[in-house]
Amino acid sequence: MKQFVRNQDMEAVQLDSEWVILNTEAYTVTKINELGGYCWSLLESPCTILSLIKSLQTDYQIEDELSFEDMESFLSELVKYGLIDHVN
């Protein structure tokens, strides 16, 4: 299964319930919500989509609201913006 990990050249800060991530190479700023920020913190080490979903379900008591497709879409956006990469 595919794993993802965040790029190390990013600066991130939590402001209340949102996270702001600065891509210093591309000079872009990305804002994500609290759950996205939690995923960002987990992506310090390689994670699969299923492991991220399981962590969210455990730590945030999310059951049916989070689907594989939702997480895949979120991670695809982070890849598109150069914030995370696939790990082989």
Q: What angle do CA 14, 20, 22 make, to 5 degrees?
A: 130
Categorise residue 83: left if φ over 0, alpha if ψ from -120 to 50, beta otherwise: alpha
pLDDT score, position 1: 84
How do residues 4-59 score in pLDDT, each as one tens digit?
999 988 999 999 999 999 998 889 999 999 999 999 999 999 999 999 999 999 99
Mean of the per-residue pLDDT values for the chain?
A: 92
The identity of residue 34, as a single letter, is E
Domain spans in the chain, listed from the N-terminal domain onward: 3-83
Class of domain 3-83: alpha beta
pLDDT over 80 at 88, yes or no: no
How do residues 58-84 score in pLDDT, each as one tens digit?
998 877 677 899 999 999 999 999 999
